[in-house]
Amino acid sequence: MKKIRVGQFSQSPVLLAIAYNDFLPEYHIEVINVLSSPAQFGSLMKGDLDIALTSPDNVLLYATTPKNPLGEMCDLIMLRSIDRGLDLSLVSTPGITSPEELLGATFSIDSPASGFALLLNSMLRRLKVDISKVTFIAAGSTPKRLIHMIEGASQASILNAESKVQAEEKGFREWMSVVEVSPNYLGTAICVERRHENREEIQNFMGAWRRANDWLLDVSFSEYLEIFSENASVLRSEKYFNLLHDPIHGLTRENALSLNSLQVLIKIREESNAYIPRTEQLSKLISNRYD
């Protein structure tokens, strides 16, 4: 059986729906939970991954400049959008009760150059928190940042998807949602090396993704539960199911990748005085094959 290796940060119900519906009968999808964005793109460029489910901002950084954690400019292309952030939010442990107390908190981030870290900076500025006095600690992927907070290694972070739902269940406090920064934010996209865009397995994967994504957006909650094993999972909760269907935060039925959506990320970068790609580089990062 042919293999497709997919690197993800948070769990993807679309991948589960592909397997449940047997939309790729000739392939085995090996799902790899990556530890950080440098690890994800390092694996993609070494050929240890075929596909990355990642933030579009990560693609901006790794595909348009060698001034990234890998020290090389990667030839990447995004094939389609996945979601609008899945309730991406600034969250703290219950002991933080005011914006002023955020100043004394330790914040878990992926890496200082990651898009989520820059978005966190934008949120803190809107809360009038002096970023120069904030302590940041690199903790890796979103699920790992949640663990950091639970274990007391940090008191705040930016979380989404199942990690955000779990944080809410533990009484964590939300301070700001991504929609307060931009109503047109894209949280995740499918990315591959450009030279692999036309490979048969990539095309087959993208066809299966579209079918599974549509299936998820059309099924009832009881039908949705059937894609999971009996093991307890926050993805089985009705709250997570509703999040996938949320028109503001949830899955994108149509491919929402566009120059306008990338410009939202550019604006967030500008606010942090971070590296900004040239305008002519942006259109080359978006495939027209899967509109």
Sheet containing 27-33, strands listed edge to edge, beginning at the edge strand earlier in sequence: 27-33, 2-8, 51-54, 188-193, 76-83
Helix or strand run (H / E) with residue 109? strand 106-109
What is the percentage of the chain residues whose pLDDT exceeds 90? 88
Instruction: Determine the pLDDT at residue 228.
Output: 85
Residue 232 pLDDT exceeds 80: no
- Between CA 220 and CA 246, with CA 88 as vertex, the angle to 5 degrees is 25
For residues 199 and 187, what is the distance between their CA atoms, to the nearest angstrom?
25
Domain architecture of the chain: domains with CATH? 2-85+185-285 (3.40.190.10), 89-180 (3.40.190.10)
CA nearest neighbour of 82 among 181, 206, 174, 201: 206
Position 148 scores a pLDDT of: 94
Mean pLDDT of 23-47: 95
pLDDT for 230 beyond 70: no
Mean of the per-residue pLDDT values of the chain: 94
Q: Is the pLDDT of residue 52 over 70?
A: yes
**Cβ burial, residue 142 (10 Å; 0-12/13-18/19+):** buried
pLDDT digits (tens, 9 = 90+) for 55-70: 999 999 999 999 999 9
* pLDDT of 120 above 70: yes
Long-range pairs for 228-234: beta carbons < 8 A, 24 or more residues apart: 228/16, 233/11, 233/162, 234/162, 234/165, 234/166, 234/169
pLDDT tens string 122-176: 999 999 999 988 999 999 899 999 999 999 999 999 999 999 999 999 999 999 9
Which pTM was predicted? 0.93
Tokens of 153: 């290694």
Quote the pLDDT of residue 137: 94
Q: Residue 115: is its pLDDT beyond 90?
A: no
